[in-house]
Structure 1
Amino acid sequence: MGNFLLLFKVTCLLLVYFYSKAIITKVFSLYYNSPMPNIKYLIRRVTRMDYKAMGAKIKDIHEKSGKSRVWIFFDMIHCGRKFGAGYMDYWLYEMYNLNDKERDTYITRGRNYDLVKRYNDPKYTALIDNKIEFNKLFGEFLGRKWLEIRKDNKQEVIDFINDHDFLIAKADLGSCGKTVEKIDCKAEKAEDIYERLVNQERPHFFEEVIVQHPAVSAIYPYAINTIRIVTIQREGKVHVASACCRFGNYGHSVDNFNNGGMTAPVNEKTGEITDFPIDKTKVLYEKHPMTGAVFKGFVFPMWDEVIAMCTKAAMVVPQVGFIGWDVCLTPDGPVIVEGNDYPGHDLYQLPEHTHDKMGIWPKYQF
């Protein structure tokens, strides 16, 4: 395997070298009828690639499919060059079982990157990335009170803590729920809570706990189960490209896919869950193992309001046109949990949910 990885790395570097010398550009263009990818992006991907992890994926594909490692290796290069697919895309979407026409329907890492570069001005993405700045701009969509924790508002924060039984504390930057903590406001002194959080490395803030819609809590009550809505905004027009939902599991307080959660596709026009959820270990669930709730066919309440809210929110920072909105349903209507200016692309088109071997890339053409 070590020699194979060395061969792969050398081959990739040679491809970059020859491409930079414009020796094979014309050959690729004629053979594949498409241009070579951006040289800077290609070099960055090759030099930063985790070759050990990639080799493990090649081994896994070889064992599953029976295809030779050499064939898989060169097919990965082909899919990376033609469709912008990383080795994780190739493995996750089982591209080794797809023809090029089918592969071309998938949004890949490279294509997702291109959308971000095309629609999101980096001078404005901090307004989405930074959760404090986000809350300032998108307050009308939050449906909950929130408060910054600063050195100059100690008494205000203490009063806020004393007024609540529980609060959610978050850092201004962070992902996957790693900087989120549920605070029991009665378990320790308000001043101690304040001092602990105000002295954290990153600025923190409080949010009120979201009360989830009973229909969604009936499926899984221990976490805020979110819907991811992806919008593309261009020249004042907003297109809803895709939707999926996430549910927690195992009693965990988060719905994150990497923390035991599960995901399922949602019809972006109707709000219906169209297939069985799957978790990271590729287990499919007809019913939730903790509640017995049936997933497929469930229609999220107030779907028209969800789409209207995300469409309106997409116009708040028009310089950031490609956003993934994490939405939660409450008894009073939908609220936005957060926005993501670099939406993931993997959860919307898993093989277990693409029975016709067709991805969602056509939906992103706007």
Structure 2
Amino acid sequence: MPSTGLSLGPKLRYLVERARRIDVGSVIERAKEVHEQHGKAVPLVVADMLWSAARRDVAFQDYVDYDFAILTREERATFMTHPVSMQLAAKYAHPDHRVLFENKIEFNRRFDRFLRREWLVVEAGNADAVRAFVEKHGTIVAKVPVSHMGLGVHRYHAEEVQDWAAFHRGLLERDEILLEEVIVQHPDLAAVCPGTVNTTRITAFNDGSDVHILAIAQKFGRGAVSDQMSFGGFYTMLDDAGHAIGAGYDSHGHVHEKHPDTGFPIAQFQLPFMEEVRAFIDRVARIVPQVQYVGWDVVVSPDGPVLVEGNWGAGVYENKPSVTGIRTGHKPRYRKAIGF
């Protein structure tokens, strides 16, 4: 196992790069959001945000999302932040193995037995195979192999295709060359949002012996092909038993006591098959031991969990105190498991 702790070098490089790219206007706009939410003076918020970024590794959006303006210094210290997560990702993902998580086709090949769905790569000359695949499944998901935040993902319906040669050609031109069978989600997930396959983000760390689950976030869509925020999605944190700890929220200031489309009370959500999900993560996290810190996206189907993808740049999903009433975050769990 690599040595524990985060070295000073990556942090200094991050701070220098962040200072070079700082957008003062963006900082002020975020400070205004904080003022509207919590009544704090904008100049004081700006100063606090800059101080927190420089000294506490707090991204500006983290400051807004996790309600730092109303937290004490001790409470703030319990929250995981994106800069710290980025440093962990860089330290605990061997560069030679990151491509397995960056390229969806390579990921599918390595983790095929955990996907539990059919998939096909679009290539020159396989228009007939593409047609057969799409017609077999009726609706499929097409993905760009390298993308982020749910971008480059589209749904296609066989009944809407008039020219299969043109359809095949269009997939190649748009680089939507990974086709997948649509995942059937558990009825408990469909009850919240039936139009989107709602994924569970499980951030985990493989210390070489044990796999530690650090945080669990349940994402919900709004009927689009993806549940990412760029598609109108939001999330809620789950406790160790898989139960929501409060309402849903996003990084755009929206809070959802109930799902906007179905009226489902988000705080009442319970992830089914939670014990099976834990065992599933323990297995998948050991497949590529050279990448220890991963944000795993899974979907619970009627028969148990299936794997969507893994993110070596795990990102951060955290508690929002003004929504849940809980004024602490998950960082102590990260520290205990990883030792930084």
TM superposition score normalised by structure 1: 0.83
Residues 192-222 of structure 1: CA distance to partner in whole angstroms, max 9, x if unpaired?
221211233x361110111111221122111
Q: Is 1:255 aligned to residue 236 of structure 2?
A: no
Q: Is 1:194 aligned to residue 168 of structure 2?
A: yes
C-alpha separation between the residues in 2 aligned to 1:91 and 1:292? 27
Aligned with residue 261 of structure 2, among 284, 290, 293: 290
Q: Which residue of the partner structure matches residue 359 of structure 1?
A: 329
Equivalent positions of 1:1-366 (< 5 A) are 38-62=11-35, 65=38, 67-188=40-161, 189-200=163-174, 202=175, 204-249=177-222, 251-267=223-239, 269-345=240-316, 347-365=317-335, 366=337
**Alignment CA distance shift 1:230-1:284 (3 Å):** same
C-alpha separation between the residues in 2 aligned to 1:135 and 1:301? 25
Contact 1:247 / 1:263 at 8 angstroms: preserved in 2? yes
Contact 2:120 / 2:180 at 8 angstroms: preserved in 1? yes
Counterpart amino acid of residue 298 in structure 1: F
Residues 168-209 of structure 1: CA distance to partner in whole angstroms, max 9, x if unpaired?
111101122221111112322333221211233x36111011
Which portions of structure 1, spanning 4 or more consecutive aligned residues, are displaced by more than 4 angstroms?
A: 62-70
Residues 257-310 of structure 1: CA distance to partner in whole angstroms, max 9, x if unpaired?
23222211111x211122112244434333333323233233221111111111
C-alpha separation between the residues in 1 aligned to 2:10 and 2:140? 47
Q: Which residue of the partner structure matches residue 14 of structure 1?
A: none
- What is the CA-CA distance between 1:68 and the residue it aligns to? 4.7
- What is the CA-CA distance between 1:63 and the residue it aligns to? 5.6
Task: Tell which structure's C-alpha radius of gyration is larger.
Answer: 1
Counterpart amino acid of residue 254 in structure 1: S
Counterpart amino acid of residue 180 in structure 1: V
Provide the identity percentage: 32
- What is the CA-CA distance between 1:241 and the residue it aligns to? 0.3
Counterpart amino acid of residue 278 in structure 2: I
**Alignment CA distance shift 1:283-1:69 (3 Å):** closer
Residues 55-103 of structure 1: CA distance to partner in whole angstroms, max 9, x if unpaired?
2223443565555554334322331233201222222222222222111
1:207 alignment partner, SS class: strand
Unmatched segments (≥5 aa) in structure 1: 1-34
Superposed CA RMSD: 2.2
Contact 1:211 / 1:330 at 8 angstroms: preserved in 2? yes
**Alignment CA distance shift 1:187-1:70 (3 Å):** closer
1:296 alignment partner, SS class: helix
Contact 1:83 / 1:111 at 8 angstroms: preserved in 2? no
- What is the CA-CA distance between 1:247 and the residue it aligns to? 1.2
TM superposition score normalised by structure 2: 0.88
**Alignment CA distance shift 1:226-1:72 (3 Å):** same
Unmatched segments (≥5 aa) in structure 2: 1-7
Contact 1:83 / 1:103 at 8 angstroms: preserved in 2? no
C-alpha separation between the residues in 1 aligned to 2:325 and 2:95? 37
C-alpha separation between the residues in 1 aligned to 2:194 and 2:15? 44
C-alpha separation between the residues in 2 aligned to 1:162 and 1:77? 54
C-alpha separation between the residues in 2 aligned to 1:36 and 1:74? 25
**Alignment CA distance shift 1:247-1:38 (3 Å):** closer
C-alpha separation between the residues in 2 aligned to 1:55 and 1:170? 36
C-alpha separation between the residues in 2 aligned to 1:288 and 1:55? 31
Contact 2:153 / 2:226 at 8 angstroms: preserved in 1? no
- What is the CA-CA distance between 1:39 and the residue it aligns to? 2.6
Higher relative contact order (CA 8 A, sep 6+): 2
